[in-house]
Amino acid sequence: MGTKDQWYENATFYAIDVEAFADGNGDGVGDLRGLTERLDYLESIGVDCVWLLPFYPSPNRDNGYDVSDYYGVGAEYGTLGDFVEFVREADRRGIRVIVDLVVNHTSDQHPWFRAARSDPDSKYRDYYIWREDLPENPDPHRGPVFPGEEDAVWSYDEEAEAFYYHRFYHYQPDLNVANDDVREEIRKIMGFWLQLGVSGFRVDAATLMIDNKGGLESTRLDDPHGVLRDMRHFVERRGDDAILFAEADDAPEHLGEYFGTTTGRRPDEAEAREELGESDEMNVLLNFLLDAYLVLALAEEKAEPIREVLDLLPPRPAGGQWANFLRNYDELNVGRLPQDDQQTVFEAFAPDEGMRIYGRGIRRRLAPMLDGDGDRIRLAYSLLFSLPGTPLVVYGDEIGMGDDLNLPGRTAVRTPMQWSADRNGGFSTADPEDLVRPVVSDGEFGYESVNVADQRGDPDSLLQWFSRLNRLRGECPEIATGDWAVFDTDDPAVFAHRMVSDHGRVAAVHNLGDDDATATLELDGEPTRLFGEAEFERVESEDKTDKDVSQKDKDTSKNDIGGYGNDKEGSDGWRFEMGRYGFCWVRLG
């Protein structure tokens, strides 16, 4: 099965928390009207698709992920009419919109749960998962998602006189997706928003949604991934070229299953796509594994973690894509790293205990993690945008926004967008005490120092640089969908790789270290600079030191792209000289 237009394969996704982006009516809360007024900005930086975090009616105890009505807009954000206008105006600018589909659980204030708790004979009782007593031997692998904030996954409801299941907070009871009626409700929800013009859904907690919840027979799915396939079938029938964009944070050996394919690593990704066929579940997977290893590479200033994670990831089937990111709007989760590596990341980027959360994550934005070092921030984004997949950025990261560690939990990275040096950073005309959250106002990341207006007028700003990078990447489809190979280099701080497709060949070299670095690469074609300031020159054959691909890759024929990965005949040696955190992208002639 294939989405008619695979637009998502080479798109830049931009995540927006509506309440923190732009206030259009001056009440201190971001809204759809304010968001619509800022669409020209999104167009100017090359955003292809906006991902809206939940804006539905909600008690808002978990940033909107406790939904009480799937068919509306929270009154503080506007109306359905405002939403339709936003989608229409975005489409006029060539920007698509996807919305969060939060159907692993609901709010405990949702009418379904209210009916379920009040009447054991209600059909809604079976929408949720109940038991009369606590399990004697709870499954340690199905513990609370938020350790330290929730102690258990079963909570007692006085009205229902029974325990209900929740992997998230106690006010977010899990839906029983094994119930046919629940799956029909999910289809109705998707159909409603597709009718309003969205281009798909970011499927929240996809891994947990299809789990055998509570280990009960009543929640066991005969074919867990069949739920995701059914969702994909429905979206393609009803939404033309709409997509499913999944939060699937699972072990590497299982990730490929969410594309709808087998999981084994193939010796060649192009061959793998031919063998695996087309993706028939999720179109796009958030690449949590790459994120953790990429941050480890930045912490160690070494390339090896990037090489390692690219080998861990399953190949993409036709129509499947990774969404690569450095930071999202949650904690930076390093839980998939070995314990020693987790500690390395914490010591580098979260040295204070207050910067950490849940024992596995960091509650900081990228710019302060990297000490506001412009060279290092640019290196990180250049690396991200050059890796196989498509990029995801969170509002404000394009200007280097900071965080507010005085705010609780993950809210620290969800402060209002900083538009200008005016009051409240241009986010709202309301009194500061009426803002949904305070704007970062102090220090080097305060809104007077970091804002859109100032950076728009500065050709050397991070914003202007980011816009150029994003536009360039859109002109290099081989990065998004091509086959890749990694060069061996003598310097452990240098990561070099190339991407090949029918569109052409691109190579990129990145120095992750704080010292100058040199790498000599054998390139099949003369390089022409695309991006970056590293110097490069041709060298004589005897000076070539860095082989085309690792010995491991040669032995297994892994990523022997375009038929020339192991064939050095006709290759030229090129020496790249980079300053601290330097990089360069080149097109091969």
Strand (E) or helix (H) holding 35: helix 32-37
The active-site residue out of 66, 82, 236, 247 is 247
Asked if 97 contacts 199 with a C-beta cutoff of 8 angstroms, the reply is yes
Q: In what order do the strands lie in the sheet with 504-511?
A: 483-486, 494-501, 504-511, 583-588, 527-532
Burial classification of residue 155, based on how many CB atoms lie within 10 Å of its CB (0-12 exposed, 13-18 middle, 19 or more buried): middle
* Main-chain dihedrals φ then ψ at residue 391, nearest 5 degrees: -90, 150
β 361-362/332-333 pair status = antiparallel
For the chain, helix, strand, coil in percent to 5 are 35, 20, 45
Stated as kind and residue range, the H or E segment containing 252 is: helix 252-259
DSSP strands (E only) in 109-188: 130-131, 154-157, 162-165
Map tokens 């987790």 to a residue. Answer: 342
* 297: CB partners within 8 A, 6+ apart: 303, 304, 305, 306, 495, 512
Tokens of 107: 């709010």
* Eight-class DSSP state of 128: B
First to last CA, the chain: 35
- Round to whole Å and give the CA distance between 267 and 289: 20
Residue 380 CA, chain-centre distance (Å), reads 15
CA-angle at 123, arms to 190 and 231, nearest 5°: 25
> Which conformational region is residue 78 in: left (phi greater than 0), alpha (psi within -120 to 50 degrees), or beta?
left
**What distance in Å separates the CA atoms of residue 416 and residue 452, rounded to the nearest whole number?**
12
Half-sphere exposure of 476 (CA within 13 A, CB side): 29
Return d(Cα 75, Cα 170) in angstroms, integer. 24
Closest CA relative to residue 108, chosen from 169, 150, 149: 169
Closest CA to 11 of 261, 385, 466: 385
Sign, CA dihedral 356-359-365-368, equals positive
In 109-148, DSSP assigns E strands to: 130-131
Annotation marks residue 330 as catalytic? no
Could you give the CA distance from residue 430 to residue 343 in angstroms, rounded to a whole number? 42
Q: Cα(559)–Cα(212) distance, rounded to whole angstroms?
A: 37
Phi first, then psi: what are they for 200, rounded to 5°? 145, -165
Catalytic member of 19, 82, 204, 491: 204
204 catalytically annotated? yes
Instruction: Show which residues are catalytic.
Output: 204, 247
